Amino acid sequence: MQTSALKVAGRLSAELMRPEGAERMLVLAHGAGADFRHANMTGIAEALARQRVATLRFNFPFTEQGRRRVDGQTVSVKTLVDAVTTAREAAPDLELFIGGHSYGGRMASHAVLAQEMPVSGLVFCSFPLHPPKKPGIERAEHLDRIPLPMLFLSGTRDGLAEPDLLSEVVERLGARATLHWLDTADHSYKVLKRKRLIEVDVFDELAGVAARFMNQLDV
């Protein structure tokens, strides 16, 4: 497997992970609480590599600068657009998808509306539908305007995506959207091992579903 350190927009740290035989790449944005090197981000990327899917992980400006407060939507969207450009330049032969964990995935959804990009679909890992203990679907209203296929990978114990509400959103989106529940996982992919009905690791579960989604959309 090839792993390369890159820069997004000439200043933001990034890493390209490309397994042998890869035909697709996911531009994978991190969440609000950690940078692209966090164990969860690495776990997702390594699991996708086992499925022969490449990834580009990168920092938003706030994590690159060591700030705790997330960037505004305009800055985050511009960073995602730059990350897609970097991915295209680094691996022009790979079909591109965009998404991310929590905040990163939500910003990816705004990015595809803000600017046309060469991506075939979106992969949301723990989409933050609402704040903790404040159920609602306002954060998903803009998804109706996205014409691309979307995959939602959400834990059955995710406190930021009440199951009934997320199911309602996905149903509303129709054939464009697919929802997969990660068995016993919370927002950070912690699972209840004794109650988990499948033996596969949660990141391998996530990656397997994501790879099948991307393969089915092969153009």
* pLDDT tens by residue, 24-83: 999 999 999 999 999 999 999 999 999 999 999 999 999 999 999 999 999 999 999 999
The Cα–Cα gap between 172 and 175 comes to 9
Tell me what the mean pLDDT of segment 19-26 comes to.
Answer: 97
Q: What is the CATH number of the domain that holds 141?
A: 3.40.50.1820
pLDDT band at 194 (very low <50, low <70, confident <90, very high): confident
* 3-class state of residue 174 by DSSP: helix
Say which residues have a Cβ less than 8 Å from residue 154's Cβ, sequence separation at least 6.
Answer: 124, 126, 127, 161, 163, 166, 179, 180, 181, 182
- At 187 the pLDDT is 97
Please say if the pLDDT value at position 216 is more than 90. no
Query: Which residue range forms the structural domain that includes residue 123?
Result: 2-216
Q: Is 50 exposed, middle or buried (0-12, 13-18, 19+ CB in 10 A)?
A: middle
Please say if the pLDDT value at position 217 is more than 80. no
pLDDT, tens only, 89-100: 999 999 999 999
- At 197 the pLDDT is 75
- At 218 the pLDDT is 54
Which residues partner with 55 through β-bridges?
Answer: 17, 26
Number of separate domains in the chain: 1
Q: How confident is the prediction for the chain on average, in pLDDT?
A: 96
Share of the chain above pLDDT 90, in %: 94
pLDDT band at 198 (very low <50, low <70, confident <90, very high): confident
- At 206 the pLDDT is 97
Please say if the pLDDT value at position 219 is more than 60. no
